[in-house]
Amino acid sequence: MKTPSSSRIIGAEQLTEVRPFTLGDLKGQRTGAARVGFAARAAAAAPEPPQEDDPAFVAGRALGLREGVRQGAEAAQQRYAREHAQARAAELARLEARACGIADAFDEQLRALREGLADEVVALAIELARQTVRRTLITEPGLIVEVAREAIAALIDERSSFSLHLHPDDVAEVDAALAPALHARAATIVPDPSIAVGGCRIVSSGAEVDATVGTRWRRTLAAIGRPDAATSDAVDVTADRAALRRSASGRTAAPAAASGRDAPEAAEAAEADEADDAADVPAAADAREAPFDGMPDARDGAGVDG
């Protein structure tokens, strides 16, 4: 038996094919062999698939399910808490905005109510003052003397003469009280029906003093910021004074015996009737105007002197 040679030299008679040799062929052979070897080792090392009836497999699957459920529940609770907090914050913001809107609207309505009440109070005070002025002018005709005295004192030039314009009903009162002062200033009294009772106007060569009732009333209202409430005849009581004078004259002319009473009783009754008329005339005069409802007369106009 012939012993195989360990020489790596192959004779030509043993070759069946001849082709060129490259290093790439050697590398490819080694790579392919390595792949085959790795696949074989991986297949040998891979564990066998578990059996469904294996107790370890069943226990592991149950444990995995419980852990998955627990993690899913925790994730759901966290998501719910986060969304609930966001929704609650949005609702609180909405409620806060609504509360602020309600508070602002309430403040606005309260401010408007206060302004309205303030206007009504001022209007009521003006109306009460108007009624008081009218009643005073009717029942106290002698006040024209003080008005005329103040108007004369307002003249700067004390040496100049002037004319004092008065309503005819006030001439007697002023002439009796101020005749010496008027004579010293060479002043003359001019009866002027265009001037309402209780007021006067002084005209001199260099100045004019308007102390008519209407002008003084407008200045008073302008001082309190309500010039729009002044009207031309708001405090004109000329007609009311004349009505009171006629009523008093009629009672004086009536004989005392006609009532079956003596003279003292008739005089007392006349005085009582005169007082009643003085109280009734302003109400009758106001009845001719717009009914009083707590607000001043709504007639337009700034008023005219006298």
pTM above 0.85, yes or no: no
Which run of H or E residues covers position 276? helix 263-287
> What is the distance between the alpha carbons of residues 171 and 178, in angstroms, rounded to a whole number?
10
Residues of the chain with pLDDT below 70 are 1-51, 230, 232-233, 250-306
Q: How are beta strands 200-204 and 208-211 bridged, if at all?
A: antiparallel
Phi, psi of 46 (to 5 degrees): -65, 135
Do residues 159 and 210 lie in contact, with contact meaning Cβ atoms separated by under 8 Å? no
The closest of 228, 251, 229, 247 to 239, measured between CA atoms, is 247
pLDDT for position 291: 36
Which residue segments constitute the domains of the chain, with CATH numbers given? 107-139+236-301 (no CATH), 141-211 (3.30.2320.30)
pLDDT tens digit string along 88-127? 999 999 999 999 999 999 999 989 888 888 888 888 888 8
pLDDT tens digit string along 30-69? 555 555 556 666 666 666 666 677 788 788 888 888 989 9
b/e string for 22-32 if b means 16 or more Cβ within 10 A? eeeeeeeeeee
Tell me the residue ranges of DSSP E strands in 86-194.
162-166, 188-191
